[in-house]
Amino acid sequence: MTNIRTFEEMTPVIAEDVWVDDSAMVIGDVEIGSGSSIWPSVTVRGDIHRIRIGERTSIQDGSVVHVTHDSEFVPGGHATIIGSDITVGHNVILHGCEIQDKCLIGMGSIVLDGAVVQSQIIIGAGSLVPGGKVLESGYLYVGSPVKQIRQLTEKELAFFEYSAQSYQRLGQRHRQEAHCSGLEVGG
């Protein structure tokens, strides 16, 4: 597949059941776990550092996942580590950051270099998580820069698993449709 590319001898490792839309680009040192989905016009570019995406994680339309290279300004650089059961909304930028398990990153949000989003967090649409910021587990964060608004409700906490399973099923439906149409299927 031309949208899944090796870069400098680093080839993406993608679980067999992952849906990668044919308009998405996955490049270089990238690993994507089982049941995850990469939707239209997403770029996952592990060309200068590594990207790891866990299981049942959805990276939605138009999002960009990139990294920071090792330099005198950023010793060691920043990989991008995305856990399991995460929903990344449309047009999100994740750059050299860590997103732990069971999170929702709202549409149009930006998470910058060295930021850590702990497990079970909702980041509201259009929010900015500054570089190096650590967000505490179990809260809703909104704004630019983000501010902790309130603890998540039980219903919101249950939504993480629901959303992950829903996008996993939808990704499989897209894989099946592409397969039945005779198209090459990502992953």
| 176 C-beta neighbours (distance < 10 Å), count | 12
Gap between the Cα atoms of 13 and 64, Å rounded? 18
Spatial CB neighbours of 102, under 8 Å, sequence gap ≥ 6: 83, 84, 85, 86, 119, 120, 157, 160, 161, 164
Give the CA dihedral 18, 19, 22, 27, nearest 10 degrees.
Answer: -30
**pLDDT attached to residue 176:** 87
**pLDDT attached to residue 144:** 98
For the stretch 123-173, pLDDT in tens is: 999 999 999 999 999 999 999 999 999 999 999 999 999 999 999 999 999
For the stretch 18-75, pLDDT in tens is: 999 999 999 999 999 999 999 999 999 999 999 999 999 999 999 999 999 999 999 9
User: Which segments within 11-57 are labelled E, that is strand?
Assistant: 13-14, 19-20, 25-32, 37-38, 43-53
| 8 C-beta neighbours (distance < 10 Å), count | 8
**pLDDT attached to residue 177:** 86
pTM of the model: 0.94
| Domain locations along the chain | 4-180
**pLDDT attached to residue 124:** 98
Gap between the Cα atoms of 145 and 126, Å rounded? 10
**pLDDT attached to residue 56:** 98
Is a pLDDT exceeding 70 seen at residue 187? no
For the stretch 62-91, pLDDT in tens is: 999 999 999 999 999 999 999 999 999 999
Is a pLDDT exceeding 70 seen at residue 113? yes
| Distance of alpha carbon 127 from the chain centroid | 16
The encoded tokens of residue 54 equal 């866990």
Is a pLDDT exceeding 60 seen at residue 1? no
**Does 145 sit behind a cis peptide bond, omega within 30 degrees of 0 on the bond before it?**
yes
Q: How far is CA 150 from CA 41, 53, 124, 140, in A?
A: 33, 27, 12, 6
CATH superfamily of 4-180: Hexapeptide repeat proteins (2.160.10.10)
Average pLDDT over residues 10-19: 96
